[in-house]
């Protein structure tokens, strides 16, 4: 009870601070209703449930506590007769505030809330003056987050699954960063394992020289070709199999030539991965599986000592309650595998990196693996204890399918090369921009064309990936992702350029305008736009809650729709309301750019 009251007092103090620091509209309304609940029913605790209204006809937000509270009050002295009475009492006890213009009761006891136009105007004005920076809630400043994403495998083509991980992971990192977190972006590359024995043995038999023919300049296709041939020999030739096994041992025991070859193979792959990251504008630090090699033995020992791991059929396993299979941390031949490495990695991230939140971004197929790893880490007491309350999440995603809804491959049935995908997206955008500029008569120079086509092409690939819920499979289609009218990056980038153009045409210094001229929203379209602009922090919150980037794309697309509706009905340039409306235009452009930045898109100003 006391805590509740203290919390309410704290919230009240916070509300009086500047608007921005108070967090999203939803948070502010939640705070208001916390005060109301506390005042109306000091003996009860109930966390306010405030959500955006599904139907804007009824209100902007809704508070749904009355029914719950009614149930809690039942049987007590002077208990209300119906949930509606509770709802009325809450409304009557709302502290004086500038947020609400209207409340109404609906259904058994819902409270519908309409925000005041003055408040919305002020809110947008604050956004222009103070920027869109944090604190958002949750406030992640001073929190350390480790995001494990992208993570392709050496000597293999980086495939569309890795592309999804790269794109989704990057957006998650950017969102965490905007919320003030310190983010360690880790590329857990598959750079260690038995496959290297095969490859090294095969290569050195082909080229008996000091470097075994591994120069570091091989293309991924060369490496894949070599790997395929090595695998074939491994499966068919007993002698080779034996020699490949010995090569693994040699590599693991630090044989110089083997290590040299391994390094060259990794370097060759790294170049190809780097080219993709460069194009996508993604930064990620390489810390592959091999990094954890020196720790594996001790980790398995620790698990055994703590009684978490036991021998089963010659292998060392961690059995976890509720799971049909154990986590194998050491194979029966004594070797360490993918799971052993992930155990070492999680320990390292918790104990050395001091992570408060670890996020793994991989295809949904690995969900069980991570479930096991997380449970094993809990069993070992590395996490989920009073000393270590770190959060840990696996962010899974569905498949990328071809346009026919089947597995995504080239016409000849090969794995799709990412570089080629990106090339094609860019080439198609180059055509689009050329055609458009011929239509409008505006000439574009080669450098701008190049810049715009990359921004659009790569942006389109990213956006198409982010806009569907990450768990659903989506079809990779150039036609739909490059659609000039739909919910696509191309459409949004054009929309932004147009919006930025309006402010440019006015030749007004918007910051000076924001300082001198108040925003007044009155027309319904202005109100709709201002409300949505004010909801940006909420989109961030939703995205962080479930780590679903489509919350951001949904928000962004809706923003552009509301802007269009506004622009059709409300004259800006040369109108009486020009000063106020230009600020709405500018705020829209800025919020769009903030969304672009979170989604890894580069804004264009003139296309």
Q: Closest CB to ligand ARG among 179 and 392?
A: 392
Q: Is 337 helix (H, G, I), strand (E, B) or coil?
A: coil
Q: How far is the CB of 100 from ligand ARG (least distance, A)?
A: 47
Which residue ranges make up the site for ligand ARG (CB under 6 A)? 148, 151, 153, 188, 190, 342, 345, 360, 362
Q: Closest CB to ligand ARG among 284 and 493?
A: 284
Q: How far is the CB of 442 from ligand ARG (least distance, A)?
A: 45
Candidates 147, 124, 166; CA nearest to 559 is 124
Q: Closest CB to ligand ARG among 318 and 492?
A: 318
Q: How far is the CB of 284 from ligand ARG (least distance, A)?
A: 12
Candidates 603, 600, 602, 575; CA nearest to 589 is 603
Helix (H), strand (E), coil (C) string for 142-197: CCEEEEECCCCECCCCCCHHHHHHHHHHHHHHHHHHHCCCEEEEEECCECCCCHHH
Both tokens assigned to 4: 């509740």
Q: Is 119 helix (H, G, I), strand (E, B) or coil?
A: helix
Q: How far is the CB of 349 from ligand ARG (least distance, A)?
A: 10
Q: How far is the CB of 287 from ligand ARG (least distance, A)?
A: 10
Q: How far is the CB of 76 from ligand ARG (least distance, A)?
A: 53
Q: How far is the CB of 470 from ligand ARG (least distance, A)?
A: 15
Which run of H or E residues covers position 105? strand 100-106
Both tokens assigned to 80: 């209300």
Q: Closest CB to ligand ARG among 27 and 290?
A: 290
Instruction: Give the count of alpha carbons within 13 A of 452, CB side only.
Output: 24
Task: Give residue for tokens 């860019």.
Answer: 426
How many Cβ atoms from other residues are within 10 Å of residue 315's Cβ?
18
Question: CA 74 to CA 496: how far, in whole Å?
Answer: 54
Q: Closest CB to ligand ARG among 151 and 204?
A: 151
Question: CA 211 to CA 98: how far, in whole Å?
Answer: 74
Q: Closest CB to ligand ARG among 284 and 303?
A: 284
Q: Closest CB to ligand ARG among 20 and 151?
A: 151
Which run of H or E residues covers position 329? strand 327-330
Task: Give residue for tokens 């000592």.
Answer: 305
Both tokens assigned to 210: 């000091």
CA angle 236, 238, 244 (to 5 degrees): 95
Q: Which residues pair with 287 in a beta bridge?
A: none
Q: How far is the CB of 190 from ligand ARG (least distance, A)?
A: 4
Q: Closest CB to ligand ARG among 148 and 538?
A: 148
Q: Closest CB to ligand ARG among 88 and 362?
A: 362
Candidates 459, 456, 468, 458; CA nearest to 552 is 468
Question: CA 424 to CA 108: how far, in whole Å?
Answer: 56
Q: Closest CB to ligand ARG among 63 and 361?
A: 361
Beta strands at 61-63 and 50-52: parallel, antiparallel or unpaired: antiparallel
Q: How far is the CB of 358 from ligand ARG (least distance, A)?
A: 9
Q: Closest CB to ligand ARG among 146 and 552?
A: 146
Q: How far is the CB of 154 from ligand ARG (least distance, A)?
A: 9
Q: How far is the CB of 305 from ligand ARG (least distance, A)?
A: 24
334 torsion bin: left (phi>0), alpha (psi -120 to 50), beta (else): left
Q: How far is the CB of 538 from ligand ARG (least distance, A)?
A: 31
Question: CA 527 to CA 88: how far, in whole Å?
Answer: 27
Cβ atoms of residues 179 and 137 within 8 Å: no
Q: Helix axis angle, 338-351 relative to 296-305, nearest 10°?
A: 80
Question: CA 27 to CA 389: how far, in whole Å?
Answer: 24
Q: Closest CB to ligand ARG among 147 and 464?
A: 147
Q: Closest CB to ligand ARG among 14 and 159?
A: 159
Q: How far is the CB of 513 from ligand ARG (least distance, A)?
A: 49
Q: Which residues contact 54 (CB under 8 A, 6 or more apart)?
A: none
Candidates 156, 550, 549, 136; CA nearest to 359 is 549
């Amino acid at each position: 009870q006391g805590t509740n009251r203290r919390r309410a007092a704290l919230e009240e103090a916070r509300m009086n601070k500047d608007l921005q620091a108070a967090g999203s509209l939803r948070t502010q309304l939640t705070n208001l209703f916390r005060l109301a609940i506390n005042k109306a029913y000091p003996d009860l605790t109930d966390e306010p449930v405030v959500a955006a209204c599904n139907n804007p006809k009824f209100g902007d937000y809704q508070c749904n506590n009355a029914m719950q509270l009614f149930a809690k009050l039942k049987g007590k002295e002077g208990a209300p007769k119906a949930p509606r009475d509770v709802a009325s009492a809450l409304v009557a006890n709302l502290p004086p505030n500038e947020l609400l213009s209207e409340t109404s009761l609906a259904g058994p006891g819902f409270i519908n809330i309409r925000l005041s136009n003055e408040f919305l105007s002020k809110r947008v004005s604050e956004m222009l003056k103070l920027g869109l920076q944090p604190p958002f809630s949750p406030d992640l400043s001073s929190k350390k987050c480790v995001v494990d994403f992208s993570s392709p495998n050496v000597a293999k083509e980086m495939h569309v699954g890795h592309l999804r991980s790269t794109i989704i992971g990057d957006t998650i990192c950017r969102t965490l960063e905007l919320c003030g977190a310190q983010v360690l972006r880790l590329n857990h590359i598959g750079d260690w394992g038995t496959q290297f024995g095969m490859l090294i043995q095969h290569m050195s038999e082909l080229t008996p020289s000091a470097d075994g023919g591994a120069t570091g300049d091989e293309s991924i296709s060369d490496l894949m070709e070599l790997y395929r041939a090595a695998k074939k020999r491994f499966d068919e030739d007993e002698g080779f199999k034996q020699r490949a096994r010995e090569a693994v041992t040699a590599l693991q025991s630090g044989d110089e030539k083997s290590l040299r070859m391994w390094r060259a193979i990794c370097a060759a792959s790294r170049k190809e991965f780097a080219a993709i990251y460069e194009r996508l504008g993604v930064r990620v630090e390489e810390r592959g599986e091999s990094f954890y090699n020196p720790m594996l033995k001790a980790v398995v020992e620790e698990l055994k000592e703590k009684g978490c791991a036991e021998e089963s059929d010659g292998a060392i396993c961690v059995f976890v309650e509720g799971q049909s299979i154990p986590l194998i941390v050491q194979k029966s031949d004594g070797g360490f595998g993918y799971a052993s490495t992930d155990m070492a990695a999680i320990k390292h991230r918790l104990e050395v990196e001091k992570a408060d939140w670890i996020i793994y971004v991989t295809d949904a197929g690995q969900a069980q693996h991570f479930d096991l790893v997380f449970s094993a880490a809990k069993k070992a007491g590395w996490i989920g204890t009073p000393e270590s309350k770190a959060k840990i999440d696996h962010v899974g995603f569905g498949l990328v399918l071809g346009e026919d809804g089947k597995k995504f491959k080239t016409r000849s049935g090969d794995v799709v090369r990412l570089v080629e995908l990106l090339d094609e997206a860019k080439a198609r955008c180059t055509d689009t921009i050329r055609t458009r500029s011929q239509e409008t008569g505006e000439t574009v120079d080669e450098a701008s064309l190049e810049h715009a086509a990359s921004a659009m092409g790569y942006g389109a690939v990213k956006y198409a990936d982010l806009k569907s819920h990450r768990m659903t499979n989506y079809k990779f289609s150039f036609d739909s992702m490059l659609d000039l009218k739909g919910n696509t990056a191309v459409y949004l980038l054009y929309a932004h350029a147009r919006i930025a153009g309006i402010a440019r045409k006015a030749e007004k210094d918007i910051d000076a305008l924001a300082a001198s001229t108040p925003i007044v929203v009155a027309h319904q379209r202005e109100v709709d736009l201002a409300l949505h602009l004010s909801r940006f922090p909420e989109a961030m919150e939703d995205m962080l809650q479930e780590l679903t980037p489509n919350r951001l794309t949904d928000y962004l697309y809706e923003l552009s729709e509301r802007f269009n509706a506004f622009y059709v009905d409300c004259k800006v340039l040369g109108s009486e309301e020009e000063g106020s409306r230009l600020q709405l235009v500018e705020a829209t452009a800025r919020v769009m750019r903030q969304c672009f930045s979170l989604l890894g898109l580069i804004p264009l100003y003139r296309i």
